[in-house]
Amino acid sequence: MENIILTGDRPSGKLHIGHYVGSLKRRVELQNSGNFDKIYIMIADAQALTDNFDNPEKVRANITEVALDYLACGIDPNKSTVFVQSHIAELTELTFYYMNLVTLARLQRNPTVKAEIKQKNYELSLPMGFLTYPVSQTADITAFKANTVPVGEDQLPMLEQAREIVRSFNGLYGETLVEPKAVLPENKSCLRLPGTDGMAKMSKSLGNCIYLSDSADEIKRKVMGMYTDPNHIKVTDPGDTQNNPTFIYLDAFASDEHFARYLPEYACLEEMKAHYERGGLGDMKVKKLLNAVMQETLEPIRLRREELAKDIPAIWDMLYRGSEEARAVAAQTLSEVKKAMRIDYFSDRK
Residue type, 290: L
Cβ–Cβ < 8 Å for 337, 100: no
Find the shortest distance in angstroms from Cβ 293 to ligand TRP.
26
Find the shortest distance in angstroms from Cβ 20 to ligand TRP.
13
Nearer to ligand TRP, 85 or 196 (CB): 85
Comparing every residue's Cβ against ligand TRP, the nearest one is 44
Nearer to ligand TRP, 22 or 245 (CB): 22
Cβ–Cβ < 8 Å for 4, 145: yes
Q: Which residues contact 270 (CB under 8 A, 6 or more apart)?
A: none
Q: Which of residues 98-117 bind ligand TRP (CB under 6 A)?
A: none
CA nearest neighbour of 135 among 175, 170, 101: 101
Nearer to ligand TRP, 12 or 244 (CB): 12
CA nearest neighbour of 255 among 272, 279, 243, 242: 272
Listed in sequence order, the DSSP H helices in 280-347 are: 283-308, 312-340
Find the shortest distance in angstroms from Cβ 201 to ligand TRP.
12
Find the shortest distance in angstroms from Cβ 6 to ligand TRP.
6
Find the shortest distance in angstroms from Cβ 197 to ligand TRP.
21
Burial (0-12, 13-18, 19+ Cβ within 10 Å), 6: buried
Q: What number of CA atoms fall less than 13 Å from residue 276's CA on the CB side? A: 24
Main-chain dihedrals φ then ψ at residue 38, nearest 5 degrees: -150, 145
Distances (CA, A) of 33 to 3, 73, 92, 121: 12, 15, 32, 42
Nearer to ligand TRP, 141 or 315 (CB): 141
Nearer to ligand TRP, 81 or 137 (CB): 137
Q: What is the spatial distance between Cα 285 and Cα 232, in angstroms, rounded to a whole number? A: 13
Q: What number of CA atoms fall less than 13 Å from residue 68's CA on the CB side? A: 25
Nearer to ligand TRP, 9 or 283 (CB): 9
| Residue 194 engages ligand TRP in binding (rule: CB under 6 A) | no
Q: Which of residues 123-142 bind ligand TRP (CB under 6 A)?
A: 137, 140-141
Q: What is the spatial distance between Cα 186 and Cα 194, in angstroms, rounded to a whole number? A: 17
| Residue 6 engages ligand TRP in binding (rule: CB under 6 A) | yes
| Residue 16 engages ligand TRP in binding (rule: CB under 6 A) | no
Nearer to ligand TRP, 167 or 261 (CB): 167
Find the shortest distance in angstroms from Cβ 320 to ligand TRP.
20
| Residue 302 engages ligand TRP in binding (rule: CB under 6 A) | no
| Residue 88 engages ligand TRP in binding (rule: CB under 6 A) | no
Q: What's the DSSP call for residue 23? A: I
Nearer to ligand TRP, 10 or 287 (CB): 10
Return the residue of 4, 5, 9, 69 that touches ligand TRP, per CB under 6 A. Answer: 9
CA nearest neighbour of 305 among 74, 72, 73: 72
Per-residue x/- track, 51-80, ligand TRP (CB under 6 A): ------------------------------
Nearer to ligand TRP, 96 or 284 (CB): 96
Main-chain dihedrals φ then ψ at residue 314, nearest 5 degrees: -65, -30
Per-residue x/- track, 139-178, ligand TRP (CB under 6 A): -xx-------x-x---x-----------------------
Cβ–Cβ < 8 Å for 194, 206: no
Q: What is the spatial distance between Cα 179 and Cα 172, in angstroms, rounded to a whole number? A: 15
Q: Summarize as ranges the residues that interact with ligand TRP (CB under 6 A).
A: 6-10, 44, 47, 137, 140-141, 149, 151, 155
